[in-house]
Amino acid sequence: MISSRRGFFKNGLLMLGASALGLDMLNTAYPAGVLAETLAQSPQNNNILVIVQMAGGNDGLYAVAPYTDPLLAQNRPTLALSAQDVIPLNSVMGLNKELGALQPLWESGSMAVMQGVGYPDPILSHFQSMYIWESLDMTGQQGSAEYGWLGKYLSTLPNAQSQPLNGIETGNQLPYALQAPNFSVPAIASAANFKLQAPPQTSAAIEQTRTSALLQLYTSFAQANPQNTLSGLLSSVSATTVSATADFDKAYAAYKPAITYPQSTLSSQLQIVAGAITQNLGVKVAYVIIGGFDTHVNAKETLQKLYPELAAAIAAFWQDLHAHGADSNVLMMTWSEFGRRVKENGGMGTDHGTAAPLFVFGPKVKGGLYGSNPDLSSLDTNGNLVYTTDFRSVYATVLTKWAQANTTSLLGGTYPLLNFL
């Protein structure tokens, strides 16, 4: 339960010395958590994983369409793509031209499309389905699992306790996927503001004294109030922040984007990630979120804006990394909690569905179209697609072939590996 996650913070902090936690001590502050001990340690490699969450449930049939299938137009008066709307991926499947900025990645063989990704007994609730994807707790009972799959992975890295920028997220809401035992993954909502502001005209030594006093208030509070389940979280967040900002601030300031990023929230987020990667800040997992995919009405209008924004931001990110010579050890994967209903509703949109394609990018990816094409003639009782690839196989492939992690202990089972890597 959640309470035991708090327990990690609490127990972890009880092991700290009362007065020892000065600024110089932060990097050794975290003891190994109980869970981390049960997970096999991951080896050190330099591979980086970037996750792009498309929140709201992306309409897979509108992103990668079986554009020759007559059932598509029958079901979707306004949301069926035909030949002129797509970049053909093969003779029957096509990428929506609104995602056209991805075409160079596709053509250079650094883009894989994994079709029909979902899970058994799909749940049509955003929040239960997101929770399933992020925690791998297939019951969907939110809060039952303690940690997210990426948080667990980060906890198995050899330097998990000393390197706060192993994982970064670029918003101010930490996703469940990054909930980790015994540390708080840094959330960098703004690169410019990811620093402790100091009073003007103050020497660095005095500023450190102020910060050190503050941090010690946190550790002593956690020690004196073990019954307060939030005291450990507060102590962990304050220590991580001081440590992570110190690592991030100066190094990031030296980052010069090689291209002009488009104006969008996702672009800004990916630019932070590109900066952290090119400046060698030790990032192993970076996480960005783009919302707005819950297209119950007027889907075409909404996606005409969202898809170009998504594609342009991703394209810019890869151009920037490539220009810096920093792309060879980077892999990017998109995901969304579900696809959408095959049949369009009366509001020119679609309701919650199930399986959908996801994208994987990177110079090491074996580009191409994977998995079975969507079968519009064989739907489930709710009129939704039947999944053909379990998302845990995608995770297993990434963890095994890219991160070289002990996948079975992280995912709690074995899943067939796929060929996009």
Partner 1 sequence: MNENENEHAFAPLPQPILSIDDSPTVISEDSAIIPEDITAPKPQKKTLRFGGRKISRRTLLIGASVVGLAAAGIAGGTLLAREQSVFAPGANVTPAVEANIAHLLRRAGFGGTQSDIQYYGSLGLTAAINQLLNYETITDPIENQLSSMNFDFTKFADMQRWWILRMLYTKRPLQEKMTLFWHGLLTSSAQKIGGPKNLPLLIQQNQFLRAHALDTFDNILLGITQDPAMMWWLDLRLSRKNNPNENYARELLELFTLGVSSGYTQDDVRAAAFALTGWSLRNGASVYTPAQHNTATQTFLGQTGSFDYRDIIRIIAAHPAAGPHLATRLFSFFVHPNPSAEEIKPMVDAYYSSGHSVKAVMQAMFNAPAFFSAAAYRARIKSPPEFVIGSIRQLELKTQGQGVGGAMAAMGQSLFAPVNVAGWPGDTESEAWMNTATWLARINLLNTAANVPGFLAAETGNILAFETMTSDIAKHNLKSYGDFINYYAQNFIDSALSSERLALLTQFLQINPYPSALQNITFADGTKTSWETARNTIYILLSGPEYQLN
Tell which positions 86-145 bind partner 1, by CB under 8 A: 124-128, 140-143
Among 32, 97, 296, 324, binds partner 1 (CB under 8 A): 296
Asked if residue 190 binds partner 1 (CB under 8 A), the reply is yes
Provide the minimum distance between the beta carbon of 25 and partner 1 in the complex, in angstroms, as a whole number.
Answer: 15
If binding is defined by CB under 8 A, does position 294 make contact with partner 1?
Answer: yes
By the rule CB under 8 A, 2 interacts with partner 1: yes
Size of residue set near partner 1 by CB under 8 A: 78
Determine, following the binding rule CB under 8 A, whether residue 287 of this chain makes contact with partner 1. no
Q: How far is the CB of 87 from partner 1 (least distance, A)?
A: 29
Is position 255 an interface residue for partner 1 (rule: CB under 8 A)? no
Among 13, 102, 145, 188, binds partner 1 (CB under 8 A): 188
The token pair at 6 is 């708090």
Is residue 194 within the footprint of partner 1 (CB under 8 A)? Answer: yes
Task: Please report the DSSP string for 94-152 in residue order.
Answer: EEEGGGGGGHHHHHTT-EEEEEEEE-SS----HHHHHHHHHH--TT--TTSS-S-HHHH
CA 408 from chain center: how many Å?
A: 20
Residue 262 to residue 401: CA distance in whole angstroms: 32
Q: Report, in Å, the least distance between residue 263 CB and partner 1.
A: 12
> What string marks each residue from 33 to 62 as x (binds partner 1 by CB under 8 A) or -?
----------------------xx------
73 lies in the site for partner 1, by CB under 8 A: no
Rounded alpha-carbon distances, angstroms, from residue 67 to 58, 72, 76, 106, 242: 17, 7, 12, 18, 52
Listed in order, strand segments (DSSP E) in 283-363 are 285-290, 330-335, 356-361
Give 277 or 299: the residue with its C-beta nearer to partner 1.
299
User: What whole-number distance in Å separates Cα of residue 222 and Cα of residue 234?
Assistant: 8
Interface stretch with partner 1, choices 101-109, 144-152, 185-193, 274-282 (CB under 8 A): 185-193
Does 305 help bind partner 1 (rule: CB under 8 A)?
Answer: no
Q: How far apart are the first and last CA of the chain?
A: 35
Our CB check for partner 1 shows the closer of 142 and 329 to be 142
Beta carbons of 206 and 213 less than 8 angstroms apart:
no
Question: What is the 8-class DSSP label of residue 255?
Answer: -
Among 280, 286, 371, which residue's Cα sits nearest to residue 331?
A: 286
- The least distance separating partner 1 from the CB of residue 216, rounded to whole angstroms, comes to 5
